[in-house]
Structure 1
């Protein structure tokens, strides 16, 4: 067996094991995929400042995100259809996160339901909400998240209208996959994945089926999801949802300082600087490039997190040095999950933690809470000068 030392090793193993439509779902962006690519490549433009002859003993990456103790400032991001990457994928990812000491975020569009994940874990997890036109469904799923003891609601703001992802359309993405000749030919080479899937009854969107009106089968589910994302979502809606939830609220999908100020006004506990992993507005700036301006605008008033493009512990370190109190990883843990199940998620977290710890030490820091922009060399034009 090949030795796995970085996230790319997991990605290669994942590509060999996962059906093409689910690999493409994870590893793609919208339109030309410019933003998807720059989310990662822009991290490469930032350099680390090496320091020597500094005591590197007794290091710690422990900190807090929204008041919760974390082993490192990393949460597992909400990823739709995680249970199609590996059987019972959300349960496996949640268990790995819990054991490691980092938060797990369950997506509205998960395969395993809120109740499935709650039954399989002992610590509270976060729940991500898409705002749907069906207000009864939204009220119900918020109540279900409360009943499950979820410690934060992550409200996604950047998916009022679905961005066009060419690969998903060409592959006929669905859960479970429709057995077309092309799909059947692909699945014939992914027998390991298929055998695991035969061993679970969780193969469709269990947060929705049986909970939304008139959704009882695949046909009705597809019709419902295609028309349900609410284009009327506004800051008034956010304020109302905050009141309904009554707990900690994280607003995900902020990419502009003015929107960050609005998040402060509605009383959110944290924001996630994010472009949905490059899956929505292609041509938008990368999350790491806009992070400094958003931290400058609101970083003393609200906790700022970020996601989109993080593939290593050095990326985490750079984000923290630029002012993020935490980050979310999506693809990095999905690679691990698709490659090796729960053990692969654990491996992804171990890889990122080791890279974060060693890089922090070589930059002359022992405590992650002492990391600041002083450890970075940032190009003067990194944020860009735009007319």
Structure 2
């Protein structure tokens, strides 16, 4: 099977190297940074290295089929695109580029509440296939209005983010002025001037803003007022009581993102959630936490959760090999954020298609190598190193 992509960039490492040359430093740091000393950011990637697969070379297998069904929807591959805030700041029009590419290649794109395209626009360009991640507002009226808009736009899946009771201390963002309230400084301006293609495209598409939230914001807010609005609108814990209200109002599939413990998993099942995304917010919230994949290994192995809801993973995946490892230890579906932003930063409008097909090609090759025909077979190919 052929998956067309630019062979000059066969890996995420290649895309990242190119993207770093096209995206201004302050925006690239926002994309890449973790919280505090960025230890959990590193663990997210490095802990995949401890998962091993075993091949079966002398066994006949059926034709490979990477398609995966989640919530009654059949996708062409077992992965999707994670939500990222301020996507249009990192690369102009990134939200639309990725949403279109995802729809055309049969995978889900997830729009963040704090991204730079409106939920209505993304529903249109994704042909109704995009998911939506909700930052739970402090005001019930705002929450209810967003849910109403999602229903009208016919979003198939609602993802509620639960792991931001406070904004993480991200030192790169503090230094660059991208923490709240954001600050435009001379260093950022100079960095933008050094990336002319980014600047030209920003002029073409306009200064990025929180498009979904525009109806709730006063016009012509300055940066200080914007910071106050964001802090006031999204500060506070997402409690089980708040989630119960959403469960009552939202009749479609409901997913909780940011689950890493048995206690929260138990609550998600009691709530009646249809799925969870095991995630530590890309290492951007709790530096003393464990990697997302290690949380997955522990929770997916618990027999109490088997068949109760879909268990998905977000965090640290950088190749088709990592996707295979994630399936081997129990994910039903996986999401990636930074890799796709490297893709659009490196290759612009073609970046989404390239990155999707690159991951498909890598995963397909691994399935050939270990002799399996579908992603759900990967657990049979996990090597238990404790046996040796």
Q: TM over 0.5, yes or no?
A: yes
Structure 1 counterpart SS, 2:213? coil
Alignment of 1:91-102 (within 5 A): 91-102=96-107
Task: Please give the alpha-carbon distance, in whole angstroms, between the structure 2 residues aligned to 1:214 and 1:167.
Answer: 29
1:305 to 305, 309, 312: 312
Does the 8 A contact of 1:94 with 1:117 survive in 2? Answer: yes
2:294 to 286, 289, 294: 289
> Which structure dedicates a bigger proportion of its chain to helix?
2
The match for 1:86 is 91
Q: Which runs of 5+ in 2 are unaligned?
A: 1-5
Deviation string, structure 1 residues 107-150 (Cα, Å, up to 9, x no partner) = 00011111221232323210100112122221111111111111
Structure 1 counterpart SS, 2:37? coil
The match for 2:3 is none
Relative to structure 1, the CA distance from residue 69 to residue 329 in structure 2 (aligned partners, 3 Å threshold; closer, same or farther) is same
- Residue 377 of structure 1 pairs with residue 386 of structure 2: no
Deviation string, structure 1 residues 13-52 (Cα, Å, up to 9, x no partner) = 1111001111111111101111110000000111121220
Relative to structure 1, the CA distance from residue 231 to residue 123 in structure 2 (aligned partners, 3 Å threshold; closer, same or farther) is closer
Alignment of 1:17-166 (within 5 A): 17-55=22-60, 58-166=63-171
Task: Please give the alpha-carbon distance, in whole angstroms, between the structure 2 residues aligned to 1:199 and 1:212.
Answer: 25
- Residue 236 of structure 1 pairs with residue 241 of structure 2: yes
Task: Please give the alpha-carbon distance, in whole angstroms, between the structure 2 residues aligned to 1:24 and 1:299.
Answer: 38
Does the 8 A contact of 1:104 with 1:126 survive in 2? Answer: yes
Does the 8 A contact of 1:79 with 1:110 survive in 2? Answer: yes
Does the 8 A contact of 1:175 with 1:203 survive in 2? Answer: no
Task: Please give the alpha-carbon distance, in whole angstroms, between the structure 2 residues aligned to 1:176 and 1:84.
Answer: 15
The match for 1:385 is none
Task: Please give the alpha-carbon distance, in whole angstroms, between the structure 1 residues aligned to 2:219 and 2:243.
Answer: 26
Relative to structure 1, the CA distance from residue 294 to residue 215 in structure 2 (aligned partners, 3 Å threshold; closer, same or farther) is farther
Deviation string, structure 1 residues 147-188 (Cα, Å, up to 9, x no partner) = 111101000000121111000010001799854221121111
Does the 8 A contact of 1:320 with 1:371 survive in 2? Answer: yes
Does the 8 A contact of 1:62 with 1:71 survive in 2? Answer: yes
Aligned Cα RMSD in Å? 2.0
1:212 to 211, 216, 219: 216
- Residue 326 of structure 1 pairs with residue 330 of structure 2: no
Does the 8 A contact of 1:77 with 1:330 survive in 2? Answer: yes
Q: Aligned-pair distance for 1:215?
A: 5.9
Relative to structure 1, the CA distance from residue 216 to residue 265 in structure 2 (aligned partners, 3 Å threshold; closer, same or farther) is farther
Relative to structure 1, the CA distance from residue 380 to residue 307 in structure 2 (aligned partners, 3 Å threshold; closer, same or farther) is farther
- Residue 198 of structure 1 pairs with residue 203 of structure 2: yes
Question: Number of residues paired by the alignment?
Answer: 379
